[in-house]
Amino acid sequence: MKKLGLVVNPIAGMGGRVGLKGTDGPEALRRAIELGAEPVAPERAIAALERLIPLKDQIQLITYPGEMGESEARKCGFDPVVVGEVREGQTTAEDTKDAVRRMVELGVDLILFVGGDGTAGDIHDVVGNRVPVLGVPSGVKIYSAVFANTPEAAGEVAALFLSHGLPFREAEIMDIDEEAYRRDELAADLKGYASVPYEPIMMQAGKESSSGFETADQKAIARWMVELMERGRVYILGPGTTTRAVAEELGIYDSTLLGVDLIVDYRLMKKDVNERQILEAIEGRPASIIVSPLGRQGFIFGRGNQQISPGVIRKAGRKNIIVLATPQKLSLTPVLKVDTGDPALDGELRGYIPVITGYMQTHMVKVL
Amino acid sequence: MFRQARWGTDSGLEPLVFELSRQGRRGCAFRPERLSEVEIPENMRRTSLNLPELSEPEVVRHYTRLSQMNYCIDLVFYPIGSCTMKYNPKICDEMASLDGCTQVHPDQDESTVQGCLELMYRLERALAEITGMNRVCLHPAAGAHGELLGLLLIRAYHGWRGDARDEVIVPDSAHGTNFASAAMAGFRVKVIPSDARGRVDMEALEAAVSERTAAMMLTNPNTLGLFEDRILEIAELVHGAGGLLYYDGANMNGILGKARPGDMGFDVVHLNLHKTFSSPHGGGGPGSGPVGVSEKLERFLPVPLVQHDEKTGRYYLDYDRPDSIGKIKAFYGNFGVLVRAYTYLLMMGEEGLREATEAAVVNANYVRKKVSETRGFKPAFDCACKHEVVFSAEPLRRETGITARDVAKRILDYGMHAPTYYFPPIVPEALMVEPTETETKEELDRFVRAMHEIDRDARENPERLCSAPSATAIGRLDELRAAREPILSWRMYVKAGRS
């Protein structure tokens, strides 16, 4: 019998309608309630669970008490196993983490969570990529790639996963700085990677489907990228699993997944560098930037790789930007975006660019 | 009420010919004293042959039973999109089996096969006229082979001009062979997206062409069955950048006799004789993919070219072509297919070919209109199509969970072959239907009725679809396992422990 872990963040999304851009922290939550915010997570949880009702007798639902999953599950006719304890109306990130810790101990096959990037990040802190997770979108910030399109879609994907099985992919967990977000600045970091069921149509309007082979496609891209590399040129390698495949193709196994690394003459020159270090390294030398779209939004600059600053981009040269993306990735993000921090540079980067999608193969993709 | 013939034992289907083998059984008896000695080199001699041993009646029964279980065009409607499964006229087979076509060898002295050479020459002239090209090479054995030849000619052209170009532009709706052929010819492939109308995205194309563009490959009408209405602009753009334009002729049945690729600006064209010119196909060959070229590429064509000496009336094989890229196939092409195609052309005539195209387009649009009246199937694009129509079963899937694959398998239960599904990949739950011109209105209506019933069953009797097909010799196959554990020969079968 398959075990499904359900954890609902009851306050996720409350900051949205009242314009608070999130509810990370008790202060923000208090403000939201003052402004008349109503919980939205519970109804979204129910919308997702309704799609799992046909599997009611074939799966064991494990959840946290009250508004963190139990009440939503019972409303849908489930008889869940309830673990942990909670103080009504005062749930915190610690509760989310405790819930997930217990579920992992009980050997759940999938963690279905209701929340946003904050919740996804909390869960990731506990689970990493050891257990597959799937997000029911109910947050203000939904930049991570672990969410389905809609609550109903999340329920469908979970049902498919539990009944038929689905392949996995590694999906980015993005960490949005909420304070900056409130100041209308979007500063995102790549927090890590989660394991997510792959279903191209419901996780995002996808065009292609063959995810089991994504690692093969990454290897093909990496092999071609390595063939294109020239001696004496500094390659600024951005974060991500596809760029990591390039490092591995060169026999480099200690490159950073979340940071920016420098490769020269087929060797790792320096890893996890900041802007200053990049600028020093490329002073007076030809340089190329290798990036991959991160998260769901398809950003190639400005999310998780701010070290590759406008200064770096200008010094390396616009025509030395190389974008890598598997066809599966492109099906999730058919349009690419840029947010370098310099609007003029952003403007120059817009238009159609070639993206390496395979061995000796590129796709023309629009950058908005 | 359809039920496909099923020959088998309790444990499975008709055994393999190796399994029917019994040691010592013979089809014919040889008298050893009547055989002459043949010297076989030491290292080529074998001690055992491991060929199956059956009597003649056993062989006949075995293959007749298999043929009865073959879901074929001579039995059923076969609307596989882009394959152009039109009826194969028997007169073509009759002509191809004439002694003058079969009892000849390509190495015979030219003077003894003038008829064959004349046929090839006349066919070549006709295909050149049909496509608007200068000369045609009949050698390629398949469409993809023609693609490879076309790209090799393009590479030779740029090389000869001292202008090495290494990129080929291909639309994302293109058939997989386009990408593969370009890669095999040593080019980098640049894929451009289709726009919201299903045509080449001009903005993406403008960004894609450069001084590295060797060629752009296009199918017109494209794999969505839509005519690339901006083809003249596309040709100008590609030519302007110094590239050549390649025409994939898989969809020629949509325009034959009405429009010519040469007039649209294409420099190289391949045709699929087995599709458009109705040679039997669908079993992995033999096919024929002749390649037509404009004047600028003529010098690079493979040898030999069939020429006609006006003065003497003699037909001959011309090997004197110093800039030729060489040979791409043994001998001169799949002759049997060439004969069938030539017979078809003579039988149809110019007017007949034109009428056939018109009927093919009308049939596809009729099916388009009638099937779109269901709730679950919607044409992928909002405009009239050419000879084939692409539906999306996404509305059906969203409402009922029934997929295009389920639909395709269920169509088999109606005694019709399923259309192409999940291609082109840019349409979700795609079903590509190409009725061709050789179907009656009654047959088209049968197909339409089946689609309406399937649409209803998806809502009311989904189990009929999930378990389909059930009226065929074999039920639904485990495609995943077949892809992961392919058993393609007797040797592999034995090795897998299945014998």
Q: Is residue A249 part of a domain?
A: yes
Strand order of the sheet with strand B378-379?
B378-379, B389-392, B430-433, B420-421
Which residue of A lies nearest to B185 if distances are taken between CA atoms? Answer: A360
pLDDT at position B374, please?
97
- 3-state helix/strand/coil string of B109-132: CHHHCHHHHHHHHHHHHHHHHHHC
Interface contact A352-B207, CB threshold 8 A: yes
CB < 8 Å from A in window 387-426 of B:
425-426
Mean pLDDT for the stretch of residues B377-401: 95
Q: Is residue A284 part of a domain?
A: yes
- Could you tell me the CATH number of the domain that includes residue B250? 3.40.640.10
Judgement on whether residues B317 and B363 belong to the same structural domain of the protein:
no
Judgement on whether residues A39 and A92 belong to the same structural domain of the protein:
yes
Percent of chain B whose pLDDT exceeds 70: 100
What are B422-474's pLDDT values in tens digits?
Answer: 998 889 999 999 999 999 999 999 999 999 999 999 999 999 998 899 999 98
Tell me which residue in B179, B183, B192 faces A364 most closely, judged by beta carbons. Answer: B192
Judgement on whether residues B252 and B280 belong to the same structural domain of the protein:
yes
Confidence tier at B483 by pLDDT (50, 70, 90): confident
Tell me which residue in B188, B206, B428 faces A360 most closely, judged by beta carbons. Answer: B188
Judgement on whether residues A81 and A183 belong to the same structural domain of the protein:
yes
Which residue of B lies nearest to A201 if distances are taken between CA atoms? Answer: B428
Q: Is residue B246 part of a domain?
A: yes
This model's pTM is above 0.90: no
Interface contact A352-B203, CB threshold 8 A: yes
Judgement on whether residues A129 and A163 belong to the same structural domain of the protein:
yes
Contact with chain A for residue B466, Cβ under 8 A: no
Q: Is residue B140 part of a domain?
A: yes
Judgement on whether residues B368 and B341 belong to the same structural domain of the protein:
no
Judgement on whether residues B310 and B411 belong to the same structural domain of the protein:
no
Of B346, B376, B401, at which residue does a domain stop? B346
Tell me which residue in A351, A364, A366 faces B190 most closely, judged by beta carbons. Answer: A364
Q: Is residue B185 part of a domain?
A: yes
Smallest CA–CA distance, residue A86 to chain B, in Å, is 38
Contact with chain A for residue B204, Cβ under 8 A: yes
| Average pLDDT of the residues of chain B | 94
Judgement on whether residues B373 and B316 belong to the same structural domain of the protein:
no
With CA atoms as reference, report the closest residue to A123 among A163, A181, A64: A64
Residues β-bridged to residue A294: A299
pLDDT at position A32, please?
74
β-bridge pairing A110-115 and A2-8: parallel
Judgement on whether residues A23 and A87 belong to the same structural domain of the protein:
yes
Q: Are A267 and A250 in contact (CB under 8 A)?
A: yes
Of B312, B346, B380, at which residue does a domain stop? B346
Interface contact A357-B191, CB threshold 8 A: yes
Q: Containing domain of residue A316, as a range?
A: 212-367
pLDDT at position A185, please?
57
What are A258-312's pLDDT values in tens digits?
Answer: 889 999 999 999 999 999 999 999 999 999 999 999 766 788 998 778 889 999 9
Q: Containing domain of residue B449, as a range?
A: 357-481
Tell me which residue in B188, B191, B425 faces A207 most closely, judged by beta carbons. Answer: B425
CA separation for the pair A2, A60 (Å, rounded) = 6
pLDDT at position A340, please?
85
Judgement on whether residues A245 and A132 belong to the same structural domain of the protein:
no
Judgement on whether residues A222 and A309 belong to the same structural domain of the protein:
yes
Q: Is residue A167 part of a domain?
A: yes
Smallest CA–CA distance, residue B183 to chain A, in Å, is 7
Q: Is residue B487 part of a domain?
A: no
Judgement on whether residues B309 and B450 belong to the same structural domain of the protein:
no
Q: Is residue A322 part of a domain?
A: yes
- What is the total count of domains within chain A? 2
What are B178-224's pLDDT values in tens digits?
Answer: 999 999 999 999 999 999 999 999 999 999 999 999 999 999 999 99
pLDDT at position A295, please?
65
Q: Is residue B44 part of a domain?
A: no
Q: Is residue B215 part of a domain?
A: yes
DSSP state letters, B297-345? GGGGPPSPEEEE-TTT--EEEE---TT----SSSTTS-HHHHHHHHHHH
- What is the total count of domains within chain B? 2
Residues β-bridged to residue A358: A361
Judgement on whether residues B126 and B247 belong to the same structural domain of the protein:
yes
Contact with chain A for residue B183, Cβ under 8 A: yes
Of B346, B376, B393, at which residue does a domain stop? B346
What are A259-271's pLDDT values in tens digits?
Answer: 899 999 999 999 9
Judgement on whether residues A193 and A220 belong to the same structural domain of the protein:
no
Confidence tier at B384 by pLDDT (50, 70, 90): very high
- Could you tell me the CATH number of the domain that includes residue A190? 3.40.50.10330
What are B98-120's pLDDT values in tens digits?
Answer: 999 999 999 999 999 999 999 99
Interface contact A360-B193, CB threshold 8 A: no
Angle at B74 between CA B415 and CA B140, to 5 degrees: 120
* Range in A67-81, A327-341, B217-231 with the lowest mean pLDDT: A327-341
Smallest CA–CA distance, residue A15 to chain B, in Å, is 32
What are B146-176's pLDDT values in tens digits?
Answer: 999 999 999 999 999 999 899 999 999 999 9
Interface contact B191-A362, CB threshold 8 A: yes
Residue B370 has pLDDT above 70, yes or no: yes
Q: Is residue A206 part of a domain?
A: no
Amino acid sitting at position B416: M
pLDDT at position A165, please?
82
Mean pLDDT for the stretch of residues A344-348: 92
Judgement on whether residues B116 and B211 belong to the same structural domain of the protein:
yes
β-bridge pairing B430-433 and B420-421: antiparallel
CA separation for the pair A203, A329 (Å, rounded) = 12
Q: Is residue A70 part of a domain?
A: yes
Which residues of A lie closer than 8 Å to B, measured between beta carbons?
201, 207-208, 334, 351-354, 357, 359-366
Tell me which residue in A201, A360, A366 faces B189 most closely, judged by beta carbons. Answer: A360
Q: Is residue A207 part of a domain?
A: no
pLDDT at position B425, please?
84
Contact with chain A for residue B191, Cβ under 8 A: yes
- ipTM over the 0.85 cut-off: no
- Could you tell me the CATH number of the domain that includes residue B395? 3.90.1150.10
Judgement on whether residues A81 and A123 belong to the same structural domain of the protein:
yes
Q: Is residue A205 part of a domain?
A: no
Interface contact B193-A363, CB threshold 8 A: yes
